[in-house]
Every structure is written in C-alpha cells, then in structure tokens.
Structure 1
Amino acid sequence: MTAQTIETVDPVEPVPGAPAPVAAAPGRTRRVLWAVARWTAALAVCGGVGAGTAMGITALDRTEVPGLATESDGRWEYPALRLPALPAERPRPFTEGNDGEIHYADVRKLLLPAPAGATVDPKTNGGWVSEDAYLAGFREKDRARVEEALDDTTLRHIAGRAWTMPDGTETRVLLLRFSSVAYVDLTYRNLTSDWEEALPAGVAEAEILDQVPDDVRVPEVSTYAYQEKKPYGPEQTRWAYITAGDTLAMVTQTRKGGALAVPFQQTVVLQAQLLG
C-alpha cells in the first residue's frame, strides 16, 4: 500500500434531505446469498473521521492489483483521489456510531473522477442524474421493470459521471443513494434476479466475471461484476454493481471489439475505495 496523506479541505455543504442515522438492516444475508460466484474488488482504506478533513488516496501500486504489474498493462492514469469532508460531527459510513452505514458526505463528491485523456460527457459530469437518464442505460424492454423496482424504494438521488477514452471505451459511473441499506439490497436483487435480469442497453446475454482479486478488499463493500456474453456485436459491455451501505453504484464500460479487463477492474476498485 502506498503512503496516505491527509489534507485539510473546506467542509462540503450537506446534501438536501440528508437523513438522520438509520438503524442497520437486520440479518445481513446479502453477504452470504449474493457473494457466491461474484468477485469482490475492493481496497482497504485507513479512514480519518474528523469533520473538515479528507483522506488522500493514492492510486494503487501496479503490484497491488492482479493484472496490473507492468508498464504496458493498459491501466488508466487517474488523478490523486481524496475522500470529501464530512458535515460537522458526522461519521464515515462504516465506523462506530454509524450503524445505518450512511454516507453523510455529498454523494457527488464520492464519484470517481475521469482519468487523463478522457473526454467527459458534459451532461453527466459529476452532477445529479435524472431517473429517466438512469433508466436509459438499460435495455428498452427492462426499463419499466427497473422503474417499478425504484418506485418500491426510497431513492433519494442519483449522481453520475461519464467519459470516453481515446481508444473508444465509454465509461459511465452512477451512484444511487437510498434511505437505508435494506433498499440497496432490494434494488440489487431486483436488478440481478435470475429469472428476469435487467441488462445494460445493447446487451443480449450476460455472464458473471469470476476473477477474485483477494488482495484488494474494501471492508463492508461488495462488488459484483458481469460482462456481455459471446457472441456479441461490434461492441462489448462490462458492468459492475457496488453495494456500500446506503449507496448502490453501477459502473459500465463499453468498447468496440471488446471491453478491456484492466481498466474495468481498475475503475471498479477505485470507485469501491471511494465508497468505503
């Protein structure tokens, strides 16, 4: 692990409608029921809790993530990351005193920034995303079901960022913040149910990615990754769901000729780290 630095930043404004602490959902069965055949990509973070400070997060060493061992591995160059400041006297999501695993920081500040060389989508650049824009990322035949699933929850808001790399890889990162962990679990189950799975736009059939990078874990954060199954058309899509307390993330990458494993894994790991 590379050395961490702590920087002082101005406190962020509280997110409108920020909830009071919510008791943790009983019976965390998701860690058992949904861990089978899924890979967990995460990274341990030494957390500082004080309001008005942020943790400096250095990009992963190449030796710390499987498949990222050489200079020509295709890894993207992300800027130095840092956790945002918290409102006064609010703890981070997986610390003592936050049984509801609530992200009190502005969820927009928890979005992964675009890497060097990216062309950022001006319509999806770290701000709020409408529910309609979120639904547009799914196959047309799945959108009504996804909308119905969201209607059964207390979704507070969606934040997003999207960009395109010089090789044509299109990346979309969305963070959905709910009122409790239970609604995160419910939404993930509804999106991935075996009998009627909701798939990204353009994807006909999915398969689970079975890589398990055991040495990069974020405690309490779970990641479930998929890819478009062969035969696919001119493009291939990889996507992952990240469950982290009251927040569900969806990372999607699409590339002509085939989505690449290294930048996908790197992007998912770093986003998981920010949510942990």
Structure 2
Amino acid sequence: MTEPTEPTEPTEPTEPTEPTAAPAAAPLPPARKPRRVLRAVARWTAAVLVCGGLGTGTAYGIASMERTDVPGLATEGDGRWAYPELALPALPSGAPRPLSYGNVAGVHHADLRKLLLPAPAGATPDKKLTGDWVTPAQYVSEYDADQRAEITRTLRDSALRHIAARGWTMPDGTESRIYLLRFNSVAYAEGFRDDLHIGATAGESLATAPEVDFDESWSSSGRVHDTVSYVFSEKKAFGKEHVRQAYTVAGDTVALIVHSRDGKAATERIPFHQSVILQNQLLG
C-alpha cells in the first residue's frame, strides 16, 4: 500500500521563449577621415546657427560688406581712413527698413542725422556742418552761383522734408562734406535727381568743380541693392583744388558726397571711394 503524496502547488505557466538569434557581426568601425569631416561640419553648422542668432535684435547692422570695404581690415598703408565702428540706429517698433519689401515709398524711418557717416580719426570737424539739420540755402551754396536760384525752386517743388549734413578736414588738407536730403518718397527723390540732370553727367555744376568726368576707377561692388551711385572726378587740369563728388539715391533720400583738396595734388581716390561705399551702406 502506497503512502499518499502531498499535492504540489500549481506553477505559473511560462511564456514560450523566442528562438535565440545568431549574434550579428560587429559593424566595421568608420574610417577616421570621414569622422573628422563630420565633426568639422557639425562645428561649422553650430557656429553659423549661433552667429545667425546673435545677428537678430532691435538694431539692424551693416551687412554684405567685403573685407576690403570694412575700415580697419584693409591693407595697411593703402590710404583708407580710420572710421569708427559703424552701426545703424534701431528702427521704431514695427517700422520696415527703407529698401525692404512692402516699403514702397522707400521711407527711412530712422533719424536721418544718425545715418550720416561719422568723421574718421584725426579729422577736424566742420563748424557749420556738425551732423545736424541744415537749411536748403546751405546745401545750394555748394553749386555754381548762377544755378542756385533754380535749384532752390526745385527743392521747394520736390516735397523736401529736411537736410542733414556733416563735414570735416583731414590732416593732409582734404575737406569732406556730406549732405543727406530726405523727400516724401522715392519718387520725389528720383525726381530731384532727374531735375538736376544727374546720370549721364554730374548735372548742375558745383561751385568748386565746373567740369567733371565719370570716375572710371569706381567699382559698384560696395553698392547696396536698390541704391545707385554716380561718381565723378574733376577734369585735369583742375584749378586751385581738386574735387571728387558723388550722388547716391537710396529710397526717399539723396546723398551728396564731396572731397576736395587745395593745391595741385589730386584728392585721394581710395578714401573717397571708401566714404561713398560706407555712406551708401548706412542708407541701405
């Protein structure tokens, strides 16, 4: 007779086990050169993103400047003037840039006086052209006496809003004068340019430069999109001083830039072109 056995506790059913897969072959390590390239691309991408983020803000800066267009980065001894670091003023909230899409009239919403090119290092400021507002009579005084009355009438009929001006003299005797004329719209600014016959010629003659030619050495590489510059130099043989002059039309604003130097020495081309480029970029 057999002894009764104690009942055993039921066990939990076990799940069927997956069949064990064969171990995969270890991947080959990537070549070192592509890894370095990928790391370099990642670093540059991060740098671009950081720089793009830092470029946003309430103030807008001067963009698309070539290395040789930036004061301080030019080759030493090439004659460029040492301008202070340039920055555009902040725009009022919601105001578009003058040459941006949607600003059909090309209006400069920033204070025009803050868009004037500052004097470079070593310059002696002009006591009359201090970077503030000036009268139409002061601007018209730059032209030949026989033409001033007609230019005054043209300004009166052209919806002129105001004129800002700055001047200075450099140690070598070069005198610089910049006038910014702001009109009600780009149409009036271009109309004033046409009334002065600026384009194929320099138009109405300056008092100090009765005859000028196109400056054939001028390059438009520093021109801002949707602006146009007309650059001239006094013909040889010039009188007691040599004059270079340029007009820039940028939206609702026309700029007149004049460099002159007494004596038989010609006014330097490089600092004049530098002034035209930088003033153009401030207006754009």
How would you bin the TM-score normalised by the shorter chain? 0.7 to 0.9
Change (3 A) 1:117 1:88: same
- For residue 138 of structure 1, report the CA deviation from its aligned partner: 1.0
Q: 1:143 aligns with which of 134, 139, 148?
A: 148
Establish whether residue 263 from structure 1 lines up as the match of residue 268 from structure 2: no
Distance 1:253 1:266 in 2: 11
The answer to whether the 8 Å contact 1:55/1:83 transfers is: yes
- SS of 1:85 mapped into structure 2: coil
Matches within 5 A, 1:105-116: 105-116=110-121
Corresponding residue number in structure 2 for 1:207? 213
Change (3 A) 1:94 1:187: same
TM-score, with structure 1 as normaliser: 0.76
Establish whether residue 254 from structure 1 lines up as the match of residue 263 from structure 2: no
The answer to whether the 8 Å contact 2:201/2:213 transfers is: no
- For residue 192 of structure 1, report the CA deviation from its aligned partner: 2.8
Q: 1:180 aligns with which of 185, 195, 214?
A: 185
Change (3 A) 1:164 1:215: same
Establish whether residue 274 from structure 1 lines up as the match of residue 279 from structure 2: no
Change (3 A) 1:59 1:167: farther
Instruction: Report the structure, 1 or 2, having the larger helix content.
Output: 2
| AA matched with 2:131 | G
Corresponding residue number in structure 1 for 2:168? 163
Consecutive unaligned residues of structure 2, counting only runs of 5 or more, are 1-47
Change (3 A) 1:159 1:93: same
Distance 2:76 2:113 in 1: 31
User: Which has the bigger relative contact order, CA under 8 A and spacing at least 6?
Assistant: 1
The answer to whether the 8 Å contact 1:57/1:83 transfers is: no
- SS of 1:157 mapped into structure 2: strand
The answer to whether the 8 Å contact 1:79/1:116 transfers is: yes
The answer to whether the 8 Å contact 1:238/1:254 transfers is: yes
CA RMSD of aligned residues (A): 2.6
- Give deviations 1:174-219, integer Å, cap 9, x for gaps: 1000001111111112223579931112222111112342533311
- Give deviations 1:194-249, integer Å, cap 9, x for gaps: 79931112222111112342533311111001111112112111000000000000
Distance 1:241 1:196 in 2: 9
Corresponding residue number in structure 2 for 1:15? none
- SS of 1:53 mapped into structure 2: coil
Matches within 5 A, 1:214-233: 214-233=220-239
Consecutive unaligned residues of structure 1, counting only runs of 5 or more, are 9-46
The answer to whether the 8 Å contact 1:57/1:81 transfers is: no
Query: What is the number of equivalent residue pairs in this alignment?
Result: 229
The answer to whether the 8 Å contact 2:218/2:273 transfers is: no
